[in-house]
Amino acid sequence: MKFKDFKGPLIGKDRVERYVKSLRRKDKIKRIYHPLIDRILSERIQSPRRILDLGTGPGFLAAEFARKISRASVVGLDLSPDMIEYAKTFIENKSLKNLDFVLGDAQEIPFEAGYFDIVVSHGMIKCVSNVRKMLGEVYRVLSEGGCAYLVDSRRDVSLEEFDEVTRGFHPIDVEKSRRSVNKSYRTDEIKAILDEMVFKDEASIKVKGLTFEIKICKSALR
């Protein structure tokens, strides 16, 4: 089995198929997306109107948001035309009228400032070449009072933690997870980047299992 580099968009229909298979084998929707969505929604007082999933890949996280909050408009954005095509085909006949997929770069988000109440991202930070630019863009498109939750694997995970989380995974997925961890940022590297951002006082980072989560909440009192 060959693994390509993680940087940049995930191009190629066969790679997309393999990615989706692995995502389903790992039961990512139930194990990861549902708890993430429930936690995000429990933290917010008002109902979000617009939600952005950055680096949406096959669009499953975006689709779960759209299903859960039918009054919100949800956008899944990805730099890979193959992923966007897959995501669009996947939601055909699913009557999710509040969900759209857009081809675009997380480092130059094609939406106006303040447009989204929630920005999420899962597994994409290690893929972008300029994390500072991406974080700046996330902050720009957040509405006042809006929050971003950006989750990715972390390189500073211990062997014990890695074995614990990947126990029961298919061997291919253990190898994929190992490579993902090895290509990712350390939590202290991301913290150092966040500390350079002008919105550093509105950002925090925490660690859970194989991942870190950056949370950015744009102050409503600006």
Ligand X SMILES: C[S@@+](CC[C@H](N)C(=O)[O-])C[C@H]1O[C@@H](n2cnc3c(N)ncnc32)[C@H](O)[C@@H]1O
Other C-beta atoms closer than 10 Å to the C-beta of 178 total 16
Provide, rounded to whole angstroms, the least separation between the CB of residue 168 and ligand X. Answer: 19
Interhelix angle for 171-183 vs 159-166, to 10°?
A: 140
Our finding on whether 40 is near ligand X (CB under 6 A) is no
CA torsion sign for 110, 120, 70, 140 is negative
Our finding on whether 86 is near ligand X (CB under 6 A) is no
Provide, rounded to whole angstroms, the least separation between the CB of residue 195 and ligand X. Answer: 23
Our finding on whether 110 is near ligand X (CB under 6 A) is no
- Single out the segment in contact with ligand X by CB under 6 A; choices: 65-73, 78-86, 153-161, 182-190: 78-86
In the numeric block, the tokens 């993902």 are attached to 180
CA torsion sign for 4, 137, 73, 65 is positive
Provide, rounded to whole angstroms, the least separation between the CB of residue 16 and ligand X. Answer: 8
- Looking at the Cβ atoms of 145 and 189, the one nearer to ligand X is 189
Our finding on whether 12 is near ligand X (CB under 6 A) is no
Cross-strand partners of 11 = none
Provide, rounded to whole angstroms, the least separation between the CB of residue 166 and ligand X. Answer: 16
Provide, rounded to whole angstroms, the least separation between the CB of residue 113 and ligand X. Answer: 18
| One-character DSSP codes across 181-219 | HHHSPPHHHHHHHHHHSTTGGGEEEEEETTEEEEEEE--
Q: Candidates 23, 40, 138, 147: give the one binding ligand X (CB under 6 A).
A: 23
Our finding on whether 52 is near ligand X (CB under 6 A) is no
Closest by CA position to 26, among listed 153, 121, 138, 128? 153
Both structure tokens of 66: 């759209």
Residue number with the smallest Cβ distance to ligand X: 57
Under the rule (CB under 6 A), what is the footprint of ligand X?
Answer: 8-10, 23, 55-57, 61, 77-80, 83, 105-107, 122-124, 127-128
